[in-house]
Amino acid sequence: MKPLTEQEIRTAFVNCTKGEAKRLSIPRDLADRPWDDLDFLGWRDPQAPERAYLVTTLDGRPKALQLRCPSPASWQIRRGMCSICLTSHTGGVSLMVAPKARQAGQQGNSVGTYVCSDLACSLYVRGKKDAGADGRIQESLTLEEKIARTVANIASFFAKVTGQRLA
Ligand SMILES: [Zn+2]
């Protein structure tokens, strides 16, 4: 994806207030992130590890989500598969819950999904990060097809949060 600036990321949040988006923690090393290998950038708040964020580009525009993940003590210890990139980890998949956008979110509605705890899905898909012996299932898909699937899974997660139907 194209590199994004802090300002672009702050204005891209779809499921928090403008005030929250202004205050939340954005990585300081944006310039050093491997954007060419990313389908989305995900990070945890270093001050509040139960908060995570991700930003991607949908239809040419940056879109970001705030997520909540249960405290480390309640992470899934059993083997789990990331629902975005389909990588399996032992203890490395976290339930991440996104408050829904607008009124639905204010009323407490949310959408949850299991995601790689380090949010590095793009790197697992490209084989740039190793999830262990049985991390990646053997598939006949090409890398491009796996990337397309990851992008589609992210888009469908955003669609659930914003309540929009996919075209
Ligand atoms: Zn993943």
Residue 31: closest CA among 3, 73, 7: 3
Distance 104 CA to ligand 1 centre (A): 26
Asked, for residue 71, whether it belongs to a domain, the answer is yes
Instruction: Please check whether residue 111 is in contact with residue 100, taking contact to mean a CB–CB distance below 8 angstroms.
Output: yes
Distance 116 CA to ligand 1 centre (A): 4
Asked, for residue 157, whether it belongs to a domain, the answer is yes
Model confidence over 6-21: pLDDT tens digits? 999 999 999 999 999 9
Distance 118 CA to ligand 1 centre (A): 8
Distance of alpha carbon 40 from alpha carbon 29, whole angstroms: 15
Distance 123 CA to ligand 1 centre (A): 9
Model confidence over 29-39: pLDDT tens digits? 999 999 999 99
Distance 91 CA to ligand 1 centre (A): 13
Distance of alpha carbon 97 from alpha carbon 68, whole angstroms: 5
Asked, for residue 126, whether it belongs to a domain, the answer is yes
Distance 78 CA to ligand 1 centre (A): 16
Query: What length is written for the chain?
Result: 167
Asked, for residue 39, whether it belongs to a domain, the answer is yes
Domain limits for position 115: 6-162
Distance 150 CA to ligand 1 centre (A): 8
Distance 80 CA to ligand 1 centre (A): 10
Distance 84 CA to ligand 1 centre (A): 5
Which 3 state secondary structure label does DSSP give 80? strand
Reading the chain (167 residues) residue by residue, the pLDDT tens digits are 999 999 999 999 999 999 999 999 999 999 999 999 999 999 999 999 899 999 999 999 999 999 998 755 555 455 689 999 999 887 678 889 999 998 888 898 999 999 998 999 999 999 999 887 767 777 889 999 999 999 999 999 999 999 976 65
Distance 82 CA to ligand 1 centre (A): 5
- The pLDDT, as a whole number, for residue 76 is 47
Q: Tell me, what amino acid is at 22?
A: K
- pLDDT above 70: percentage of residues in the chain: 91
Q: Tell me, what amino acid is at 114?
A: Y
Asked, for residue 167, whether it belongs to a domain, the answer is no
Asked, for residue 1, whether it belongs to a domain, the answer is no
Distance 5 CA to ligand 1 centre (A): 23
Domain count, the chain: 1
